[in-house]
Amino acid sequence: MSDRTPLMAGNWKMNLNHLEAIAHVQKLAFALADKDYDTVEVAVLPPFTDLRSVQTLVDGDKLKIKYGAQDISAHDSGAYTGEISGPMLAKLKCTYATIGHSERRQYHGETDQVCNAKVKAAYKHGITPILCVGEGLEVRKAGQHVPHTLAQVDGALEDLPAEQAESIVIAYEPVWAIGTGEVATPEDAQEVCSAIRKRLAELYNKDLADKVRIQYGGSVKAANIAAIMAKPDVDGALIGGAALDADEFVKIVRFRDQ
Ligand SMILES: O=C(CO)COP(=O)(O)O
């Protein structure tokens, strides 16, 4: 048993406006008992426009739910229309910023180099990156999923000091399992998560690698989370569709009760 606290994070993607966000977080707060947070860390990753509302709710009611952004700019300020900076997210007391989600890589051309700059920008402002990596279907069919994913890890962590890398969260999200209902097997998840941990030991050291939380993401539901979490190198999940249903998300958080 590792002493890593699992992180269950709901990536809402482009869903739930700020009013819906308030209702949703209230439902989570109501359904989760204090003891749930002792064994599992719970986070929501809403759209930018919801963050202020979520912050107000979490602060006002002293909720233990953490929150973060789905992206972060590599720049601190300036002429970058449409972008949201680290200082802005830090001001909203975001704990996390998702970086390099496959949808950002696919639709917004984010490269490993861009991810690397964003990881550094997050740390500069005290925000913990949730770095997303994972292969598409063609790469998986060619049996290249491990080297492909490790190359993404290498690229995003380039020149990142150990003091920062030790707190990073890495989410292994095979693209073919995202939003498709086709979940990776627990063995698939373990294979890549353990390869990522070994790579962290090579890039840094074993102590650091043993501290880093590595999540699985891709069609996670209450019905499959327990089997995935039973694998030794899986330290939580990044949940898309199922996180939009508060009851389902709470069941995922309580995977140990199943
Ligand atoms: O992309 C994901 C989380 O970041 C996974 O999405 P789904 O859980 O909807 O497959």
pTM of this structure: 0.97
Exposed/middle/buried for residue 62 (C-beta within 10 Å: 0-12, 13-18, 19+): exposed
Task: Tell me the residue length of the chain.
Answer: 258
* Res 208: pLDDT: 98
Mean pLDDT of 155-163: 98
Exposed/middle/buried for residue 75 (C-beta within 10 Å: 0-12, 13-18, 19+): middle
Mean pLDDT of 185-191: 97
Mean pLDDT of 51-77: 98
* Res 183: pLDDT: 83
* CA dist., res. 178 & res. 220, Å (int): 9
* CA dist., res. 43 & res. 95, Å (int): 9
Q: Is pLDDT at 180 greater than 90 in this prediction?
A: no
Q: Is pLDDT at 182 greater than 90 in this prediction?
A: no
* Res 132: pLDDT: 98
Among 165, 164, 148, 215, CA closest to 11: 215
* Res 181: pLDDT: 82
ipTM above threshold 0.90: yes
Instruction: Please identify, by atom number, the ligand 1 atom nearest to the C-alpha of residue 13.
Output: 4
Residue 136 identity: G
Q: Is pLDDT at 258 greater than 80 in this prediction?
A: no
Span 87-139, pLDDT tens digits: 999 999 999 999 999 999 999 999 999 999 999 999 999 999 999 999 999 99
Instruction: Please identify, by atom number, the ligand 1 atom nearest to the C-alpha of residue 178.
Output: 10
Pocket test for ligand 1, best of 7, 8, 12, 13 (most atoms within 8 A of CB): 13
Which domains, and CATH codes, for the chain? 7-245 (3.20.20.70)
* CA dist., res. 139 & res. 137, Å (int): 5
* Res 2: pLDDT: 74
* Res 72: pLDDT: 98
* CA dist., res. 135 & res. 90, Å (int): 31
**CB-defined site of ligand 1, < 6 Å:** 11, 101, 173, 178-179, 217-220, 238-242
